[in-house]
Structure formats: C-alpha cells, structure tokens
Structure 1
C-alpha cells in the first residue's frame, strides 16, 4: 500500500510541477541529482488491527525538495505542495492528508504529511458451525 501512496503523491506533485523541470526520486541516490527535484520518503507506518477483517494504516511521509535558487523558492513550493497533497487519488479513491507541516533544514525543504486509511483485508472463507446443542435449565426462583 505504501507504494500506491508514493505513486499517488508523485501523481499529485506532477499536477503542479512538470516533468521537464522537476524530477521526482523515490529511491535514495548517492549523487547526481538534478535540482530542482523532489524525494518522497515514507518515514513510518503504523498498523492497527480492528474488529474482524478491518485495520487502520497510518503512513507518515517526508517529501524533500531540493531547490535551484534558495529559501524563497522553498516557501513557495511548500505552499504549492500543501494544496496539491491535501487530497491524493489512490485506485480511484480520494485520500486526505493530515498533520501537514514543513520546515527548511540546510537549504532543503522538508514537507511532512500523514495519510490515515481505514481498510479491510480480503475476505476469506469462513467455516460456520453446523449444529449446536444447548443444555440448561431454569432455577426454581426464575433467575
């Protein structure tokens, strides 16, 4: 599911930043990045089982932006990312981002966003009870 979220984030970024001018990386590269560019990193996932076949998946992302010019470009990009990534599309479904915040460290924009999904696992076959016998009696007091 995280790969689908990364693809959805990349697709949303593409709406505001064309391929010709901004490259998107999803894997770490040692050297040779072309600025300006984005790097999408899933920093954590949290899985919480619910009743039966339901579960909740919380995924936190840090989207790095490497500017060509400087901090003014970073702040403009942060505002654009906020509007682009608030809603992303995964398998035709809209998913809303939450806990949006951003900061600049060492000239690199760090844009943080969480995506929280309530999901169900694929339903398997269940074996049902064929027959049940209940033995019991009522006391004389009726309780």
Structure 2
C-alpha cells in the first residue's frame, strides 16, 4: 500500500467519474473560467483535515464536491446523483489503492447537483525522535 495523499484521492475521484460518464462528457478539476457546458462535471476539494490521533498516526478527511451541471433540470440530477453515489462509494487511486467513502450526500443548489463524498483514512507521519544526552555519573569513594 502506498502513501495516500490528498492529490491521489482527488485524482481517483476524477478518474472514477470519467470512467462512469465517458465522452462527450467533460470532467473538469477546480476553477473553470470557460468551456463548461451542460452535462459536464467539475471536481473540487472544498475541505480537508489532518489531525493527530496517536503517536505518528494521523486521520485525514478530504471531502470532495462533484458538481454536475444538468441539461434538463432536477429529474436528471436525481438520476445522476443515484449513479454518482454508487460510483463514489469506493474509488481507486492512480497508485492502485482502494479508498472507501465514509459519507456521501447530495444536494441541488441553484439547479446544480453537488455530491459531497468524504474519504477518511489514516496515515503515519514519521517523527524524528530527539534523544537525551548521555549522563555521566562519577562516584567517589
């Protein structure tokens, strides 16, 4: 198992969406200034956390927002949401690691579908141990 990074989870989600919804659908990553069309997806990572658990073990919790811009309204959003929740349940990173979503919820805001998936996982961060100096004891006697 390789080290799972925030970028590898982002890439795994993007690849999963692209595989489930092939061309001509476009899967964008991040801010799109132009070229976004109805039927396209945009994958962003609005939040992520990194918190120490025990010793060198840390919990990472990236949340990804898969945004869908429908062609025909809410009914289409419902169908895409149903399919996306299944696709995002388990993703494979480019390094080959399978990561499972610990939560997946969706909303429609302003006619746009947002599917939020969180991928909690643990990593070990190597820590440098600072050793004490050697104490020399001299006994008289």
Q: SS where residue 66 of structure 2 aligns?
A: strand
Mark the structure with the bigger radius of gyration. 1
The RMSD of aligned alpha carbons is: 2.0
CA distance in structure 2 between the aligned counterparts of 1:49 and 1:58, rounded to whole angstroms: 12
- Equivalent residue for 1:23, pick from 22, 26, 34: 26
- Equivalent residue for 2:68, pick from 42, 60, 65: 65
Number of aligned residue pairs? 131
CA distance in structure 1 between the aligned counterparts of 2:131 and 2:33, rounded to whole angstroms: 55
TM-score w.r.t. length of structure 2:
0.81
Point out where structure 1 has 5 or more consecutive residues left out of the alignment.
Answer: 134-143
Q: Deviations over 1:72-120 (max 9, x none)?
A: 2111110110110000112222111122111111110011111101111
Counterpart in the other structure of 1:101: 105
CA distance in structure 2 between the aligned counterparts of 1:50 and 1:105, rounded to whole angstroms: 35
- Equivalent residue for 1:115, pick from 91, 95, 119: 119
Shift of 1:59: 1.1
Q: SS where residue 31 of structure 1 aligns?
A: coil
Shift of 1:35: 2.3
- Equivalent residue for 1:87, pick from 76, 90, 111: 90
Is the Cα contact below 8 Å between 2:56 and 2:127 reproduced in 1?
A: no
Point out where structure 2 has 5 or more consecutive residues left out of the alignment.
Answer: 137-141
Richer in strand (by share): 1
Shift of 1:127: 6.3
TM-score w.r.t. length of structure 1:
0.80
